[in-house]
Amino acid sequence: MAPQVSVIIPARNEEANLKTCLESLMKQNDVPFEIIVVNDHSSDRTKEIAQSFPGVQVIDADPLPTGWTGKNNAVATGARAARTNWFLFTDADTIHLPGSLPRAFREARENGADLLSYSPEQIAVTFWEKAVLPVVFAELARQYPPSKVSDPKSPEAAANGQYILVKRDAYEAVGGHAAVASAILEDVALARAIKASGRKIRFRYAADAVRTRMYRNFRQLREGWTKNLALLFPRPGWLALGTLLLWASLWVVVWAANIGNRWWNGADVAVFVILYMRLQRSNFAWDRNILGVLFGMPMFAYLLLRSKRAHAKGNVSWKGRTYKGEEPPVSNLVERTFVTAGKTA
């Protein structure tokens, strides 16, 4: 039976993740699909691992053109090799739950979505993963509410590059990844282009479909969020300041209560509850949210400022490559593109 979905996996030095990802994909059923792994000039066993799976097509990414990011070049290479009318762009660090591919395919068609993107369940193992990720994803949920992203009347657009299911004709109509070749946040840029073209996108948290562990140590976490945060939030400096003030307010009332000021009795608990509630939309367990309140908020502020500085200096590093950074933030571009498209349509 001819495949209906092309699963395209860009992989650069992913020997720690790729085997588990491919094993989870090979267990999918009920919808015919092909798997294309694009080896993005890896220096480890990534290509060898991919080739060990029968039926998986393994190709090498084209030489990196000037002005392109590595991931955009890799997924564009994979899309050119695909044979189907639907593409699933997914990362090598994802784990796909049984039956998730046919369910996603059905969900996209039932909702008339040209692009369906899932935000995976985040696996956190180390201390800083547990503390920082709840803060990051709570703020992302505030900035990009899935209900607004999925609303055709809203200018908000977003997607998570770890899981993007998109119609081939919609993808090609907006120019594919070639149209966002230099975008570091290619997932949001692609969603922006799809929505601005008048097509429908659907975005939701999907612990029922896919999970991922994005970073395996503090160095990777710092480098990854330095690459992304300044582009995800329109005013990263102000958000960092606001986050620090909220976090500091907790310790001010704790100090005031401990020195015996009766006016502050119970205020420390109240402030903690407010901050805890702020993180609840992150979809993490209660103990991770507590770590987020106590330790993650100042680290999030630090990462925001580090990201802002890296982009301003044009020195953004990721997986051995350095990019010039981007301005203005993606969220401003979303609104601008949507409004422009509306005026010219």
Residue 36 has a pLDDT of 98
Q: What is the mean pLDDT of the chain?
A: 91
Residue 280 has a pLDDT of 93
C-beta of residue 202 within 8 angstroms of C-beta of residue 150 = yes
60 Cβ contact list (under 8 Å, min separation 6): 38, 39, 41, 47, 77
Is the pLDDT at 333 greater than 90? The verdict is no
Domains of the chain: 5-216 (3.90.550.10), 219-331 (no CATH)
pLDDT tens per residue across span 107-160: 999 999 999 999 999 999 999 999 999 999 999 999 999 999 999 999 999 999
As a whole number, mean pLDDT of residues 50-67 equals 96
Query: Would you state the structure tokens that stand for residue 127, as one six-digit string?
Result: 């201390």
Q: At what angle do helices 330-344 and 218-232 cross, to 10 degrees?
A: 40
Pairing of strands 86-90, 201-205: unpaired
The share of the chain scoring above pLDDT 90, in percent, equals 86
Pairing of strands 86-90, 5-11: parallel
Name the pLDDT band for 267 (thresholds 50, 70, 90).
Answer: confident
262 Cβ contact list (under 8 Å, min separation 6): none
pLDDT tens per residue across span 2-17: 889 999 999 999 999 9
Phi then psi for residue 255, to 5 deg, are -65, -45
Kindly tell me the number of DSSP H helices and DSSP E strands found in the chain: 14, 12
Q: Strand ranges (DSSP E) for 154-235?
A: 163-167, 201-205, 210-212
Query: Would you state the structure tokens that stand for residue 78, as one six-digit string?
Result: 């994979």
Residue 339 has a pLDDT of 35
Helix (H, G, I), strand (E, B) or coil at 149: helix
Is the pLDDT at 83 greater than 60? The verdict is yes
Phi then psi for residue 336, to 5 deg, are -65, -45
Residue 101 CA to residue 22 CA, distance in Å, equals 13
CA atoms within 13 A on the CB side of 10: 24
Query: Would you state the structure tokens that stand for residue 219, as one six-digit string?
Result: 């160095």
As a whole number, mean pLDDT of residues 75-85 equals 97
